[in-house]
Amino acid sequence: MHPSLLLLLLLTLIPPLSASSPPPHHSHLTKNRLHLRKSTTPPQEYIEVTRPLPSDSLTPSCTLPVLSHSFGNTINLPPTNTTYSPPRNCTWSRVVLHLSAASNGSQYDRIAAVWLSGAELLRTSTPEPTPEGIFWNVRKDVTRYSSLLRQSNLTLSVMLENIVNDVYTGVYRVNLTFLYYDVAGNGTTYKHSNFALPLISPNRKSTIRKLKDSPPVPPTLKSSLELDENPADLIIPISAIGDEGFWFRIESESDAVYQGIQIPLNTYRAVIEVYVSFHGNDEFWYSNPPDSYIEMNGLPTKRGHGAYREVLVKLDDNVVGSVVPFPVIFTGGINPLFWEPVVSIGAFDLPSYEIELTPFLGLLLDGRVHYFGLGVADAISFWLVDANLHLWLDDNVDKVQAGPIKYNYPSRCVERESEFQQLDGKFEIEGKRETEFSGWVNSTAGNFTTYLWSRLKFENTIKFNKNGTEKDVKQKVKVTNEVKVESASGASISSITVKRKYPLRITTSTLPGSGKDTYLMITKLEHSLEEEKQDGNFESTLDNSQKSSGWMFVQDHDVLSGAATTYQSYDVEDSFGCFTRQVLAENGSIKNETKSFLCARAATS
């Protein structure tokens, strides 16, 4: 039957406001019995709309296939391991990890990760396969992990748990390959001559601006604070032992995990990089109403505890940084038909979050063990969190000196307002966190002071109308992180400012279906990731947004029929040039796509 006919039929057959109305909460769905595309079609490629990597236009100096594995019924099994050693006799300065995967059958979306020696390199999730088969590719620049990638005989592990039985037949076939590039000399060469993009037109005012009086760069401190441009000398994982994956599973606010680490005494810079994903009852944490609403209405859902969550990074029991993660929606989320074949922002390459810890070297360089902790404020089951500690070492000395200047530990500031009558109501949360830290480090490069400012603001509103059958979720997150390194005389050595905004809006309207455990849901989603970065001399901007709308007819956890449209616009301008891509996907296939290496702003001005 044509889906729109079905919709009309459903609308006329459904008795209004039946008592079997499902709880108006998002859940994790599969398209088990529904396929929008015809069964004669060849396997379809699924994509996350992003830019080509700058290295894609280069020929790798070496290619190293490291793993080829089929993940089938891997639930409760330890990760799959292999031994990693870098290619012999190969000159390289950049590395890309390429994950190529395929599956056919029926399966839920699954979370997966790749670790090297317990340090996470990639957090990814899978699309939901179809009987005709699907495939996808993820390429990530992993140059920041060079210090590990240069070592031999390390354990490379991949975790991807799934259940395979008569109903869920999809086995995930995964290949992992490292591509090594020799990008000679300094980063400038790589940025501007090896990458075949048109040069930026002269009438554009942003993208590349030379600072007026850049001071000479001291020997041990390159000017970029970007991890991929200036990789650390040592990476220490803050992760679990590995039998259930190297991520820590956090099920409540009191599940804080700690790892004692004694860092080398010649460390002159430290950054912690946090990887995080959200699952189970917290998969859609930003849409969870307070417990009081669930209890007073006697709802069966466990997706509650309000919509405030924050990943906290602690050092010896003090919060030194926090992350409100970008709400990545997995391919079974909100309406699985939205993500066919264009997946949600970040679904194939979940962002990691960096927090500068250099101001704390005054505490860390005392030759003692210090405790690095990770926790999730207000968490319910469950979150998968781990981190990598990136350290830069001064080769010329055994010990550098460091001291604190200002530690302004933040306190949590969250305000909540809640108002409801039976199933209708409004819940608001507003929060703010500001931190300011500074400290000096006297290495052979000089006595430099690192200043760190970070500001986080978030707002979340959830509204229920029409006896709880209409839900409207609005969230805004705004983060600014600024790091500045200055010499004793106050001259700027390096600086980086990253501003990120990620607004999200989801509206759903649920109508009960005629069959047992069936319902019809009309779904809308708008979200984006907007980023502005100033790294020393370079400015860059990213604007990545998706708008989706559609409907689905659901029985239990299966989508039986539906239709959906997703429009995505990706627009980046940075030191590699410009790239824009617009994609329109409708009912399971791409209807229109445009790509350009021209600078949009220059073209329109």
Ligand X SMILES: *[C@@H]1O[C@H](CO)[C@@H](O)[C@H](O)[C@H]1NC(C)=O
| Separation between Cα atoms, residue 23 and residue 510, nearest integer Å | 9
Q: Which of 146, 437, 443 is nearest to 265 (CA)?
A: 443
Give the interface segment with ligand X, choosing from 249-257, 287-295, 427-435, 579-587 (CB under 6 A).
579-587
Q: Which of 262, 318, 514, 594 binds ligand X (CB under 6 A)?
A: 594
Contact 359, 405 (CB under 8 A): yes
Residue (286 or 448) nearer to ligand X, CB: 448
Number of residues that bind ligand X (CB under 6 A): 47
Q: Does 68 bind ligand X (CB under 6 A)?
A: yes
Would you state the structure tokens that stand for residue 55, as one six-digit string?
């290295």
Q: Does 509 bind ligand X (CB under 6 A)?
A: no
The distance of closest approach from Cβ of residue 454 to ligand X in the complex, given in angstroms and rounded to an integer, is: 21
Q: Does 582 bind ligand X (CB under 6 A)?
A: yes
3-state SS, residue 194: coil
The distance of closest approach from Cβ of residue 594 to ligand X in the complex, given in angstroms and rounded to an integer, is: 5
Q: Does 547 bind ligand X (CB under 6 A)?
A: no
Scan residues 13-32 and list those touching ligand X (CB under 6 A).
17, 19, 21
| Separation between Cα atoms, residue 356 and residue 358, nearest integer Å | 6
Scan residues 144-173 and list those touching ligand X (CB under 6 A).
152-153, 155, 157, 173
| Separation between Cα atoms, residue 605 and residue 589, nearest integer Å | 34
Give the interface segment with ligand X, choosing from 45-53, 184-192, 286-294, 384-392 (CB under 6 A).
184-192
Q: Which of 61, 447, 497, 541 binds ligand X (CB under 6 A)?
A: 447
Residue (13 or 488) nearer to ligand X, CB: 488
Give the interface segment with ligand X, choosing from 44-52, 72-80, 314-322, 341-349 (CB under 6 A).
72-80
Q: What is the largest CA-CA distance in the chain?
A: 79
| Separation between Cα atoms, residue 57 and residue 194, nearest integer Å | 8
Neighbours of 387 (CB within 10 A): 29
Residue (80 or 252) nearer to ligand X, CB: 80
Q: Does 3 bind ligand X (CB under 6 A)?
A: yes
The distance of closest approach from Cβ of residue 39 to ligand X in the complex, given in angstroms and rounded to an integer, is: 9
CA angle 129/348/65 to nearest 5° reads 90
Q: Which amino acid is at 370?
A: H
Encoded one letter per residue, x for contact with ligand X by CB under 6 A and - for no contact, window 467-486 reads x-------------------
Scan residues 395-424 and list those touching ligand X (CB under 6 A).
397, 401, 403, 423
CA angle 457/325/291 to nearest 5° reads 80
Give the interface segment with ligand X, choosing from 48-56, 185-193, 253-261, 524-532 (CB under 6 A).
185-193
The distance of closest approach from Cβ of residue 520 to ligand X in the complex, given in angstroms and rounded to an integer, is: 13
Contact 482, 463 (CB under 8 A): no
Give the interface segment with ligand X, choosing from 204-212, 319-327, 339-347, 442-450 (CB under 6 A).
442-450
Would you state the structure tokens that stand for residue 226, as one six-digit string?
């970007």
Q: Which amino acid is at 157?
A: S
Scan residues 242-301 and list those touching ligand X (CB under 6 A).
242-243
The residues near 522 (Cβ < 8 Å, ≥ 6 apart) are 508, 509, 510, 511, 550, 551
The distance of closest approach from Cβ of residue 401 to ligand X in the complex, given in angstroms and rounded to an integer, is: 5
Q: Which of 368, 350, 388 is nearest to 122 (CA)?
A: 350
Q: Does 101 bind ligand X (CB under 6 A)?
A: yes
Q: Which residue has the tokens 């317990």?
A: 118
Q: Does 491 bind ligand X (CB under 6 A)?
A: no
The residues near 185 (Cβ < 8 Å, ≥ 6 apart) are none
Residue (108 or 440) nearer to ligand X, CB: 440
